Amino acid sequence: MLRFFFLRLGRAALTVALVVTFAFVVLRLSGDPALIIMSVDAPPEAIAAFRKAWGLDDPIWLQYLRYFSAIGQGELGQSMRDGRPALELVAERIPATLALTLPALALKLGIGIPAGIYASLHRDSLIDRIVMVTAVAGFTVPSFVLGLVLVLIFSVQLGWLPSGGQESWRHAILPVLTLGIGGAAVLARFTRSAMLEVLGQSYIRTASAKGVPWPAVVRGHALPNAAVPTVTIVGFMVGSLIAGAVVVESVFSWPGVGRLLVVSVANRDLAIVQCILLLVAITMVSANLIVDLLYGVLDPRLRSGAKAGAH
Amino acid sequence: MTHLTRRHALGLGAASTGALILPRFAIAQADNRPSITIAVQKIANSNTLETLREQSNVGTRTFYSYAESLIDTDWAGDLSLRPGLATAWRRIDDRTVELTLRQGVTFHNGETMTAEDVAFSFGSERMWGGAGQAGSAGLFGSVTAGAAGKQPPAEVVAVARRAFPGFEKIEIVDPQTVRFVNKTPDVTLEGRISRNVGIIVSRKAFAEAGSWLDWARKPVGTGPYGIAEFKPDQSLTLVAHDAYWGGRPLLKQIRFVEVPETASRINGLRSGEYDFACDIPPDQISEIEKNPRHEVLGGLITNHRLTTFDKTHPQLENPLVRRAMTHAIDRQTIVDALWGGRTRVPKGLQWEFYGDMFIADWAVPAFDPKLARELVKQSGYKGDTIPYRLLNNYYTGQVSTAQVLIESWREIGLNVEIESKENFPQVLAKGSTRAVRDWSNSAAFNDPVASITAQHGPTGQQWQIGEWRNDEMGKLSDELETSTDRARRKAMFRRILEICEREDPAYTVLHQTANFTAKRRDIQWKAAQAFVMDFRARNWGGIRS
């Protein structure tokens, strides 16, 4: 199990390093931050001074080494726009984003999983059809369209809820719904598929044939086995808690990490973008790592497989 | 013995809270002035409110509420100059303007404006990067974006130099009189002084700020509204400055909120959350006005959309090709089809508010496809590709306009191809595919040196990045900057227009820019001929009941 853990940990660290490297190179190849931040009208000497001050004149490999060594010392750089530490600026925005993504995650789990289970247990019934049609609709409608439709109904037509901003808890309702509905649809579909696959297995028939009450079969045999693919999806959702609301934050003018990312990419504020991507990579990789470890808990065969591999 | 039960404690707590709240409530009750919320695409590109740093259209929108220049501009009227923080001004000589300061002007921090504040506002600490540093090699050596210390960032100094290229000093004659002294003769000094970089700010507030950035996020000016809170990328809250020299402001609070999506701004207006929604595309106007409670105001502003040429590109080296391109465009059709006729084709790169310097008989090249085809033929153009670097609707209707242009040029036999770009540095980067691109030019004050020479002359962007240069135009630009012979200046301006728009085209003007603001119809307010929003008492007619 220890080897299994360290193997996964090593892979996670490599993934984070690759993401950061990719972001570093792409950002520097797609536009000069000096020209964007200083404006294209700035005198050449000011642009040159800006490049020098931020080390943008150095070869990219040197900038890269410098950046990696700084990360090693816990230094994530300063915003080129206002000179404040990048981590501080990003950290300021995280609570706002979590205020949307955490309730949305609860909504996804609270609606998606029960709906998926219910639909699978009542396959081909009217409710199953309704759940699946709703799930497909929720899954396919882009979040910005769903967000605008919700605004048109609840803000413009009915006047019940605000259309954007972050002044009160009421402002969070529509963005949370927008995020939650799409995610719940995805979860419902996956849960239903996983359950249907498990319900078709011979051990379920055996348990039923042995006279185990159906609720006990579902609880004891179907749900734990169907949990593995569902946990994978939930892992992705947990991983996207920090930057999973980029579009929704823009539609609802919600000042979270997503908005900061959009603005910082547009301004080529490299330190901020890199800091956000690093945090996103770490969150995503950590979530995946936890999911990997949960596999071992949920499915003992994976543990023994890892052990077998160790010998 | 006194026993304090939980109920008593709660009662006392409630009473204390009430005592704390009631007086404030009473004050709030007394102030029944309306507050408004304005949805904008962006509040400040630089995330500062210091006009020397925030030189953008979006910054222009807000600054006029919290700060003022010595010489004001009639934004909602004819853009003429009028008394601001100076009640009068007069020329001492070709390089000196003497200004009489308005008395009884109070900053938002309660301090009275003095001649020293004026000298400070144009002084080294705010504008030129600290004593003894201007022009030195170390000037741009420590770009910290102003987060630590009081040293302004490099771009502040650069903007100041461009705005006041010949600035020498502010001379305090007496407590009520100052002189703006230039090193060189300049007939445009009054216009330059009126620019938003010339706002007067509190010297004391600057001294008390923790850093340049702290200052730049909450500059203390004299405008009718003071800055209560600025949340970068989110909102700007301004509150009435009741000691304003022009009388008690009619609004209690103005709140600008950043709503990047057009649809969200419009929806917020419809739902009643916003009183104004800015940056409305022309194709949304009729939809918004279907609701009788809303209307769209605005229109022409002092900005023209251009297509610029890189004359060093092999296909554009011959001016005949560029001239052909200027004659191939049916500008009026662009105005009618893409702007619903809500803008116009101007008389070249100039505006009527230039006054005597406006050349009324000038016009953009006529739409003449036959002549254009003839010019292409004469040029010996062989059909090679002419790249057109294009941004995705950075300017209103930019992509649609580009498609019209491409077809117009195809009609006369030119093979122009669009190359999509993500940002301006990619558009401007020197290379074999830099040939045609889009731009817009504004005039910050009422003289051609504010636009054509500043943008296309030797110090202008097009010249500086190596896209276009013309020696005769360069000499004329330099002379226009310092000449005091008004007749000669006008003749020079005409010649510059001839060179830049006809003989050796640097650009071609497509149309004037229009800026639209949606608002509640019951609010009596007039839009300016600029991005500026004026909420002074003279431009606020109240809310119709």
| DSSP, residue by residue, A58-92 | S-HHHHHHHHHHHHHTT---B-TTT--BHHHHHHH
C-alpha to C-alpha distance for B375 and B181, rounded to whole angstroms: 50
Q: By CA distance, what is A252's nearest residue in B?
A: B264
C-alpha to C-alpha distance for A178 and A107, rounded to whole angstroms: 10
What DSSP string runs through B96-140? EEEEEEPSS-B-TTSPBP-HHHHHHHTSIIIIISSTTTTTSGGGG
- Of the candidates B157, B257, B425, the beta carbon closest to that of A40 is on B425
Residues of chain B found within 8 Å of residue A276, distances taken between Cβ atoms: none
Asked if the Cβ–Cβ distance from A39 to B426 is below 8 Å, we say: no
User: Is-contact B329 B510, C-beta < 8 A?
Assistant: yes
From residue B120, alpha-carbon distances to B117, B123, B148, B172, B534 in Å are 5, 5, 20, 11, 26
Dump strand ranges (E) for A234-284. none
Which amino acid is residue B73, in one-letter code? T
C-alpha to C-alpha distance for B406 and B394, rounded to whole angstroms: 18
- Spatial neighbors of B336 by CB under 8 A, at least 6 apart, are none
- CA A59, A65, A70: angle at the middle one, nearest 5? 125
Q: What structural domains and CATH numbers belong to chain A? A: 94-255 (1.10.3720.10)
Asked if the Cβ–Cβ distance from B141 to A151 is below 8 Å, we say: no
Burial of B343 (C-beta count, 10 Å sphere; 0-12/13-18/19+)? buried
C-alpha to C-alpha distance for B102 and B414, rounded to whole angstroms: 59
Residue of B161, B237, B262, B273 to mutate, interface with A, max A Cβ within 10 Å: B273
C-alpha to C-alpha distance for B384 and B439, rounded to whole angstroms: 24
* Beta pairing class for B416-421 and B386-391: parallel
C-alpha to C-alpha distance for A235 and A246, rounded to whole angstroms: 19
A43 to chain B nearest CA, in Å? 7
- The pLDDT, as a whole number, for residue B395 is 86
A92 to chain B nearest CA, in Å? 12
- Spatial neighbors of B10 by CB under 8 A, at least 6 apart, are none
- The pLDDT, as a whole number, for residue B25 is 41
What DSSP string runs through B170-224? EEEEETTEEEEEESS--TTHHHHHHSGGGB---HHHHHHSSSHHHHHHS----SS
Query: B238 forms bridges with which residues in the sheet?
Result: B227, B254
Q: Which pair of structure tokens corresponds to residue A268? A: 């080529």
- Of the candidates A39, A40, A50, the beta carbon closest to that of B143 is on A50
For each successive 10 residues of chain B (545 residues), what is the average pLDDT?
42 40 45 94 88 85 95 88 96 95 96 97 87 33 52 81 90 96 93 94 95 92 97 93 95 94 92 93 90 91 94 96 97 92 95 94 97 96 95 86 96 95 81 93 90 90 91 95 91 97 97 94 91 92 82
- The pLDDT, as a whole number, for residue B147 is 55
DSSP B78: T
DSSP B504: S
B445 to chain A nearest CA, in Å? 18
End-to-end, the C-alpha distance of chain A in Å comes to 12
- The pLDDT, as a whole number, for residue B477 is 95
Give B 408-437 residues with CB within 8 A of chain A: 422-426, 428
Does the beta carbon of B270 lie under 8 angstroms from any beta carbon of chain A?
A: yes
From residue A103, alpha-carbon distances to A116, B23, B53, B236, B352 in Å are 19, 38, 40, 28, 57
pLDDT digits (tens, 9 = 90+) for A268-301: 788 888 888 888 888 888 888 888 878 777 776 6
End-to-end, the C-alpha distance of chain B in Å comes to 60
Residues of chain A found within 8 Å of residue B258, distances taken between Cβ atoms: 253
- Of the candidates B258, B267, B272, the beta carbon closest to that of A152 is on B267
Asked if the Cβ–Cβ distance from B231 to A255 is below 8 Å, we say: yes
Q: By CA distance, what is A163's nearest residue in B?
A: B268
- The pLDDT, as a whole number, for residue A41 is 59
More reliable by pLDDT, A194 or A59: A194
A32 to chain B nearest CA, in Å? 6
Phi-psi domain of B542 (left: phi exceeds 0; alpha: psi -120 through 50; beta: other): left
Asked if the Cβ–Cβ distance from A49 to B139 is below 8 Å, we say: yes
Asked if the Cβ–Cβ distance from A49 to B140 is below 8 Å, we say: yes
Residues of chain B found within 8 Å of residue A35, distances taken between Cβ atoms: 424-425, 428
User: Is-contact B277 B260, C-beta < 8 A?
Assistant: no
Does the beta carbon of B157 lie under 8 angstroms from any beta carbon of chain A?
A: yes
- The pLDDT, as a whole number, for residue A246 is 87
Q: Across all residues in chain A, what is the average pLDDT?
A: 83
DSSP B69: B
- The pLDDT, as a whole number, for residue B66 is 97
- The pLDDT, as a whole number, for residue A31 is 65
DSSP alpha helix (H) spans, B340-484: 369-379, 398-411, 424-428, 452-456, 461-464, 471-482
* Beta pairing class for B81-83 and B96-101: unpaired
State mean pLDDT over A122-139: 86
pLDDT digits (tens, 9 = 90+) for B347-381: 999 999 999 999 999 999 999 999 999 999 999 99
Asked if the Cβ–Cβ distance from A156 to B140 is below 8 Å, we say: no
Q: By CA distance, what is A52's nearest residue in B?
A: B141
Phi/psi of residue A256, each to 5°? -105, -165
State yes or no: ipTM above 0.90.
no
A90 to chain B nearest CA, in Å? 13
C-alpha to C-alpha distance for B349 and B502, rounded to whole angstroms: 12
Q: What is the pTM of this model?
A: 0.81
Strand order in the sheet with B225-231: B225-231, B235-240, B253-258, B35-40, B276-277, B507-520, B294-309, B436-442, B386-391, B416-421
- Other Cβ atoms less than 10 A from the Cβ of B229: the count is 13
Residue of A27, A156, A163, A263 to mutate, interface with B, max B Cβ within 10 Å: A163
- The pLDDT, as a whole number, for residue A57 is 78
Asked if the Cβ–Cβ distance from B147 to A83 is below 8 Å, we say: yes
Residue of B423, B462, B465 to mutate, interface with A, max A Cβ within 10 Å: B423
Residues of chain A found within 8 Å of residue B233, distances taken between Cβ atoms: 255, 259-260, 263
- Please determine, for residue A53, whether its predicted confidence score (pLDDT) is greater than 60: yes
- The pLDDT, as a whole number, for residue A30 is 65
Does the beta carbon of A71 lie under 8 angstroms from any beta carbon of chain B?
A: no
Torsional sign, CA B255, B259, B260, B261: negative
- Of the candidates A42, A253, A267, the beta carbon closest to that of B264 is on A253
C-alpha to C-alpha distance for B367 and B382, rounded to whole angstroms: 23
Give B 436-455 residues with CB within 8 A of chain A: none
A254 to chain B nearest CA, in Å? 8
C-alpha to C-alpha distance for B252 and B241, rounded to whole angstroms: 9
State mean pLDDT over A250-258: 90
Residues of chain B found within 8 Å of residue A88, distances taken between Cβ atoms: none
Residue of B38, B56, B267, B288 to mutate, interface with A, max A Cβ within 10 Å: B267
Burial of B29 (C-beta count, 10 Å sphere; 0-12/13-18/19+)? exposed
Q: Which pair of structure tokens corresponds to residue A227? A: 């949990």
Does the beta carbon of A263 lie under 8 angstroms from any beta carbon of chain B?
A: yes
Q: Which pair of structure tokens corresponds to residue B240? A: 């009435």
User: Is-contact B88 B100, C-beta < 8 A?
Assistant: yes
- Other Cβ atoms less than 10 A from the Cβ of B383: the count is 10
User: Is-contact B67 B50, C-beta < 8 A?
Assistant: no
Does the beta carbon of A150 lie under 8 angstroms from any beta carbon of chain B?
A: no
Asked if the Cβ–Cβ distance from B141 to A53 is below 8 Å, we say: yes
Phi/psi of residue B258, each to 5°? -90, 115
The SS3 call for residue B258 is strand
B58 to chain A nearest CA, in Å? 14
- The pLDDT, as a whole number, for residue B476 is 97
- The pLDDT, as a whole number, for residue A305 is 52
C-alpha to C-alpha distance for B88 and B85, rounded to whole angstroms: 9
